[in-house]
Structure 1
Amino acid sequence: MALSNDERIAQQADEKVQSIPIQKIKPNPYQPRKTFDEAKLNDLADSIRQHGILQPIVLSESVQGYYIVVGERRYRASQLAGLTEMPAIVKALTETDMMELAIIENLQREDLNAMEEAESYQKLMDDLHITQQDVAKRLSKSRPYVANMLRLLNLPKSVADMVRTGEISGGHGRTLLAVKDAQAMKRLANRVSKEHWSVRYLESYLADNEPKKQTSQKATKQAKPRFIQKQERQLKEQYGTDVTISTRKQKGQITFDFTSEEEFKRLIRQLNRER
């Protein structure tokens, strides 16, 4: 049977389980999960009161105290349960180790919402100066999957918050990126949430209500050679935005679309990394 992330770290650790005062333990600054289900935390706290902590958390020691590497839910629930100390394995880890392990643990347990997952990928890329391909390899994901998740970071804050809270799904969010006007996107997102549209229905709605300009652009794309269309699709997946390739005689042009300053900066960072 495959070991969990906690068990794998614990098995590799030379240190024995120690009892650490809760007041000396600090949350992992690289924890990608920003929201914790209060009801589930209370249930876990009740279990801890009754049975104790069955599996030690993993900590990294620093001059400021102990930082959580794995086990933040248990830490928070233990606080609710009124514990004053916790069983823990203390490991010597770098900041990079802490960040990677925190993200990997949450991704393995599917505890992150779509926005937190996208932000985790971006943080790995920014802090470790790595590419989408590197992230995909480290986390056993496909590169197109990582690229598609990163596209969510282009959503306006109001729509991104709806994905974060579960009002709409990540699939809805990515589909809504076809709507270039932020206010129109927000209105449509509210309708998707209120009327419980599926992602497929939303795609169909957008296809039926495309502006003539976009329809004209589609016709232009269809007239392009197939290998150009293929390259456009690959670049769109790789960079998480619409890409247009145009050729005329012996010259050509590649255009990357962006709808905000933040999206522009993200594209520049990625292009610089892959030079």
Structure 2
Amino acid sequence: MATKKTATKGLGKGLGKGIGALIPEVETSSKEPIIKEVEVVKEVVKEVPVENKVKISLVEPNRDQPRKMFDEDALIELSESIKQYGILQPLLVQKKDNYYEIIAGERRWRAAKMAGVKEVPVIIKDYTTQEVMEIALIENIQREDLNPIEEALAYQRLIKDYRLKQDEVAEKVSKSRTAITNSLRLLKLDSRVQDMVVEGKLSSGHARAIITIEDKDKQYFIAQKIFDEKLSVRDVEKLMRELDKPEKVEKPKPENDFVYRDLEEKFKKIMGTQVVIKNKNNNKGKIEIEYYSQAELERIIDLFNKVK
């Protein structure tokens, strides 16, 4: 299987040949284990990672892990695979005071607990808080495990907490700066709309299309309309263009307007076609007579000639 390389600065000493070499993605179904390599480091170091086994009770997830939601059905499938094949690839962890914190591999840890595993294979490394954040973010992004809001929040944290610029974040995760900017814009959405994105009710494309709606209640209303009516992104963009159009202000009708409407009906009966009287308050206006063919025009002309 081809390995996709992504550059990550400042992690050379800790990751060796990268997450792909240490903890590639393991079983995705109970039928057959599938190993998906994910390499996330730029430099290759000489040290060979040493695998250890520790009690699963001593391993804890990273509270700052970008990924907050895990698919329950997928975890059950993975736990069944672990029961059959074991944990084929170790978790990447770092030593804390009296436990080991997961840097990468929380999904396997959760599935292993479901499978009743007592010990898990680990590779123990030592990273800075920023490096841990970067590794967790990159691993999840490359495996497409994060929902759009989780991804945006992770980018925001790298920018705010570690004072990285958007182009620096883009380089670390191998995405364009535009992609990072578009992702961060999702955080401007109303919290209720963000929840809909997290729940999969709205795609990031749908969400970005309604970001410009400043009224949060209106934004949420449109988001519900998108979900209920199963609108495509193109449909939403069309809807937004309609919302942006200035509302037509109806001009007040002239006094005695009902008199002119009555005259219209009389003209229609006499001429056998659509007649519109456009009157103004200054006793001026115009009469429009519609025709739909040359023959009908000639018929109307004959009517006028008979009046003579």
TM-score, normalising length from structure 2? 0.66
Give the partner amino acid of 1:25: V
**Amino acid paired to 1:2:** T
Does residue 148 of structure 1 match 2:182? yes
Deviation at 1:93, TM superposition (A): 1.5
The answer to whether residue 240 in structure 2 is matched with residue 206 in structure 1 is yes
* Mapped pair 1:41 → 2:75: yes
| Structure 2 residue corresponding to 1:99, chosen from 133, 142, 148 | 133
The 3 A distance-change label for structure 1 pair 164 and 144 is: same
1:15 Cα shift?
Answer: 4.1
Partner of 1:126: 160
Aligned to 2:197: 163
> How far apart are 1:22 and its partner, in Å?
0.7
- Residue 19 of structure 2 aligns with which residue? 6
Q: Between Structure 1 and Structure 2, how many residues are aligned?
A: 213
Query: Is the CA contact 1:6–1:57 (under 8 Å) kept in the aligned structure 2?
Result: no
Matches of 2:131 and 2:67, distance apart in 1? 17
Change (3 A) 1:181 1:211: farther
Q: 1:16 aligns with which of 50, 57, 64?
A: 50
Q: State the match for 1:89 in structure 2.
A: 123
Note the residue ranges of structure 2 that are not aligned, 5 or more in a row.
6-17, 24-43, 248-308
- Residue of structure 1 in register with 2:208 after alignment: 174
The one-letter code matched in structure 1 to 2:110 is R
Q: What letter is aligned with 1:183? A: D
Residues 22 and 90, structure 2, Cα contact 8 Å, conserved in 1: no
TM-aligned CA deviation for residue 30 of structure 1: 2.4
Does the CA contact (< 8 Å) of 1:30 and 1:102 recur in 2? Answer: no
Report the CA distance shift for 1:128/1:104 in structure 2 as closer, same or farther (over 3 A): same
Cα offset, 1:137, TM superposition: 1.4
Q: CA deviation at 1:108?
A: 0.6
How far apart are 1:7 and its partner, in Å? 2.9
Q: How far off is 1:60 after superposition? A: 0.8
2:80 match: secondary structure = helix
Structure 2 contact 205–233 (Cα < 8 Å) conserved:
yes
Match of 1:196 in 2: 230
Q: What SS is found at the alignment partner of 1:89?
A: strand
* Distance in structure 2 (CA, Å) of the matches to 1:104 and 1:18: 24
Q: Which residue of 1 aligns with 2:89?
A: 55
Residues 60 and 92 of structure 1 are in contact (CA less than 8 Å); yes or no, is this contact kept in structure 2? yes
On the 8 A contact 1:30/1:98 being kept in 2, the answer is no
For structure 1, the residue ranges without an aligned partner over 5 or more in a row are 214-275
Task: Measure how far apart 1:3 and its partner are.
Answer: 6.6
- SS of 2:219's partner is helix
User: What is the root-mean-square deviation of aligned Cα atoms in Å?
Assistant: 1.7
Question: For residues 70 and 85 of structure 1, what CA distance do their matches in structure 2 show?
Answer: 17
The answer to whether the 8 A contact 2:22-2:49 is kept is no
Which of the pair has the greater relative contact order for Cα pairs under 8 Å at 6+ separation?
1
Between structure 1 and structure 2, the one with the greater Rg is 2
Deviation at 1:145, TM superposition (A): 1.1
TM-score of the superposed pair, with normalisation by structure 1: 0.74
CA deviation profile, 1:131-170 (whole Å, cap 9, x unmatched): 1111111111111111011000001110000001100111
Deviation at 1:29, TM superposition (A): 2.4
The SS at the match of 1:29 is coil
2:244 counterpart SS class: coil
Q: Identify if the C-alpha distance between structure 1 residues 75 and 198 changes in structure 2 by more than 3 Å, giving closer, same or farther.
A: same
Residues 1:76 and 2:76 aligned together: no
Aligned to 1:273: none
Q: Can you list the C-alpha shifts for 1:115-134, whole angstroms capped at 9, x where unaligned?
A: 11111110111121111111
Amino acid at match of 2:51: V
What is the CA deviation profile of residues 63-97 of structure 1, one whole-angstrom value per residue up to 9, with x for unaligned ones? 14111111000000000001111011111222111
